[in-house]
Amino acid sequence: MTHSDPFTHPMDNIEVRPLRFDYTKIEMQDPVWSRSNPLFSIYINALGIHVPYFERFLVMAFRAVRDNIDNEILRKDVTSIIGQEAHHGRNFIEFNKFLMQRYPEVEALDQRAKTYFETRLQKDSQKQKIGYIAGYETFTYLGGMIILEGYDKWMKEADPVTRSLWLWHQVEEVEHGAVAFDVYQYFYAGNEWYRKWMIVKSLSHIAYETWLAYFPMCKKEGYFSSPFKAAKAIGFYVNFSYQLAKNALPVFSKKYHPRTHQEHSFKQNEIAVGWRKAYSKGEDLRDLNNHAVEKLS
């Protein structure tokens, strides 16, 4: 099978795809981009604010240890995740700038995330960095599966550009979902308790940072104008966060590996398979309308 064959296991032969998205094409310049579930738009926008700075953190931390990895396959996977995450980071930093036009609070949150991860990069030990990355990547991987499997519920009717951004991101997060785990096991296989602690720590960080953005975004969009709307907004935040935590339960097993996660072992997501196939054919996947997504599946 070729390097770009979309029918291989998605965690094999990870491909770096240097896509760039044009946010000036977003319909009505509206950040609430999903008509299927507007609150999903707000939640995922909020979650994504600090993500590009984590991705930069990952890139720098993995570059520092890559040459110390003797396993050729793992070293190749590390190079691939560095490439994928570097492109994710560039696109989402630009998306944060787009969000700032609607939500002034994003500027301070963007700077907060930048400072936090730059500080961690300077102060944390190698074990802390690799452990945190392994913990955090647990949830980007699980989030990728949840979003792709729930595509119709989350974004069947949505702005083509923003939907395309998140489809690309989630497909690739699933593809490199085992790399950070494997790097941690390579260096610190005997420290199982520390891996589990970092899962809890990273989820706490993700949930807190997401709430800091989610609340003012919901307020701006009128969700706190009545008790019913407020309950609906808070309920969505709690439910999606719960889904992330629930899907993470198998991760605490000593026998766990991302390739054997119960939600990923038996079949591949049809949209993800179609997306990879379309990319391998050279199709432009940066502005997918409804008909184009239907063709993928």
- Is the predicted pLDDT of residue 6 greater than 70, yes or no? no
- Is the predicted pLDDT of residue 265 greater than 60, yes or no? no
Residue 5 inside a domain? The answer is: no
**Of 76, 58, 236, which is closest to residue 138 (Cα–Cα)?**
58
Express each pLDDT in 166-186 by its tens digit.
Answer: 999 999 999 999 999 999 999
Q: How far is CA 297 from the centre of its chain?
A: 21
The half-sphere exposure of 173 on its side-chain side, counting CA atoms within 13 A, is 26
Q: Report which DSSP code applies to 238.
A: H
* CATH number of the domain that residue 215 is part of: 1.10.620
Domain that holds residue 112: 23-296
- Give the lowest-confidence range in 13-17, 254-258, 274-278: 254-258
- Chain mean pLDDT for the chain: 93
Residue 11 inside a domain? The answer is: no
Residue 219 inside a domain? The answer is: yes
**pTM score:** 0.93
- Is the predicted pLDDT of residue 273 greater than 80, yes or no? yes
Please, which residues have CB within 8 angstroms of residue 294's CB and are 6 or more apart in sequence? none
Residue 135 inside a domain? The answer is: yes
Express each pLDDT in 209-255 by its tens digit.
Answer: 999 999 999 999 999 999 999 999 999 999 999 999 999 999 998 88
Separation between Cα atoms, residue 280 and residue 269, nearest integer Å: 17
Beta carbons of 220 and 103 less than 8 angstroms apart: yes
Residue 4 inside a domain? The answer is: no
Q: How many domains does the chain have?
A: 1
Cβ count near 147 (within 10 Å): 23
Separation between Cα atoms, residue 62 and residue 59, nearest integer Å: 5
**Helix 72-100 and helix 179-188: axis angle, to 10°?**
130
Residue 18 inside a domain? The answer is: no
